[in-house]
Amino acid sequence: MHRIFVAVTILLGSFSLATLNSCKKLIEVDPPIENIIGKEVYSTNSGAASVLTGIYGDMSENSFVHGLQGISLALGMSADELTLFAGNLNQGFEYLYRNDANSELGNLMWISLYGYIYRVNTAIEGLSVSTDISANVKKQLLGEAHFLRAFYYFYLVNLYGDVPLITSTDIKVNANASRTDKALVYAQIISDLLEAQQLLTDRYVAADAQTETAERVRPNRTAATALLARVYLYTQQWDKAEAQASVVIGNTNYALVPLSEVFLSNSGETIFALHARQTLTSNLDGRMFNFLPTDAGPNDIRPVYLSTHLYNSFEAGDNRKQEWTKTLVTGNASYPYVNKYKTDLNSAWVTEYPMVLRLAEQYLIRAEARAWQGKLGGANSAESDLNSIRSRAGLADTTATDQAGMLDLILQERRVELFTEWGHRWLDLKRIGKVDEVMTVVAPDKGGNWQSFKSLYPIPPVEIQRNPSLRGHQNPGYPEG
């Protein structure tokens, strides 16, 4: 467990392509990535493609993406989505659940995300100067790399606020990088996504970055557009958020599908997911959130279940409650739990990939952007977008007629549509200014004491100790070390 506290500076200094070895388990790479050293990796199409493939491979393992180290678990516990079982022995989970500072999981996300950023920066630099790979492969891989850097920084800036903006592989510069105003970080995120839009196409490509495939496991132009729509929403650029979401929704390659099919591999709703071929690591959120019939209740492998705050928030007749939750009854106790992914330890085949971006979020983004612009009712309105999501869930059309009511209903729909997916609820409460209102009620139920500064995670103390430019710049309310 102590290995996760390796400082970012050490991660940067000791970075090696050997870390990409895990990709062999997922997709064959020729020649083997571990036999390629330094710049030589960018001398062939297959070698260059393997760099990005290795990143996806590592993300699909037990990383910040899913499982016990995942964002969905961490932010679900921080918010009002999950209940941590009373017999939990992981003190880091306990701290995070009570919204306290000393969470190993919160530390791990900073370190993991910056580790990936360094790898992506390495790829961008190597690809940019390579003269040996084909133009189409270079464009595809650079587009993917810019998308990924934007994706990682989106979570860093939302979890920690102002963060060091590192866009190169200069170890000396990076080791002393100071915090950058989050507005500038968002500007870099937008710049990267606009670049990704220009470089990528609407096709999905295979591991060679050339062959078209039905597998939606590498980002394409639509993935960049979808993330850009979200970023514009978060930065309150309503017209741009609406425009980008409209491009995604208008793309006939994507469609809302029945609730039972949403999380199936390459479903019509999938914009970007992560591939895995090993059954036991195909979807760690499924394994973690789903209880087995033999479970006597929550345990170390499945340490959380749905909070009553979330479980009781579904409207009567909402089919999402029936399709995406279940209840384990054992003795006199009942534990409602997440059942979006059906994968568990008994799964024989990989039928689900960890979902990263999906179409329903785009409808909710556009609905909110339109509501803020006063486009409340009629065709092409917040109402029509919201009703698309409600109709699939078996609910009647919205009756909201004023802006405040519409925005409240959109927040509620985001809550019951996107629960335990990538921390949407936690991030929503913060960006719309309702985190204090909600957490003042929720935190005491979890054994904590809410204070406003806890809406940001603390910078890991080990990073402050190792980076002189971070000393004295911890997030307010938290100790330096």
The pLDDT tens digits of the residues spanning 351-366 come to 899 999 999 999 999 9
Which stretch of 266-270, 274-278, 291-295 has the lowest confidence by average pLDDT?
274-278
The token duo for 61 is: 């393992």
Residues in the chain: 481
Handedness of CA 395, 340, 224, 373 (dihedral sign): positive
Confidence category of residue 22, pLDDT binned at 50, 70, 90: very low
> What DSSP assignment string belongs to 96-146?
HHTT-S--HHHHHHHHHHHHHHHHHHHHHHHHHH-SSS-HHHHHHHHHHHH
Q: Which domains does the chain have, with CATH numbers?
A: 1-219+433-481 (1.25.40.390), 237-271+304-338+355-418 (1.25.40.390)
Tell whether the model's pLDDT for residue 200 goes beyond 60: yes
Confidence category of residue 160, pLDDT binned at 50, 70, 90: very high
Confidence category of residue 376, pLDDT binned at 50, 70, 90: very high
Task: Compute the average pLDDT of residues 130-153.
Answer: 97
Which stretch of 17-21, 202-206, 321-325 has the lowest confidence by average pLDDT?
17-21
Q: What is the pLDDT of residues 391-404, one digit of tens each?
A: 999 999 999 989 99
394: three-class secondary structure by DSSP = coil
Question: What was the pLDDT predicted at 345?
Answer: 52
| Rounded distance between C-alpha atoms, residue 413 and residue 429, angstroms | 13
Question: What was the pLDDT predicted at 23?
Answer: 34
99 vs 248, residue with greater confidence: 248
**Residue whose entry in the numeric block shows the structure tokens 């492969």:** 137
The secondary structure of 199-221, three-state, reads HCCCCCECCCCCCECCCCCCCCH
Radius of gyration, alpha carbons of the chain: 22
Question: What was the pLDDT predicted at 347?
Answer: 55
Would you say 27 and 114 are in contact if contact means Cβ atoms under 8 Å apart? no
| Rounded distance between C-alpha atoms, residue 53 and residue 26, angstroms | 9
Question: What was the pLDDT predicted at 146?
Answer: 98
| Rounded distance between C-alpha atoms, residue 351 and residue 242, angstroms | 33
Give the chain's mean pLDDT: 89
The token duo for 235 is: 């930065």
Closest C-alpha to 415, from 317, 312, 280? 312
Confidence category of residue 280, pLDDT binned at 50, 70, 90: low
Question: What was the pLDDT predicted at 2?
Answer: 32
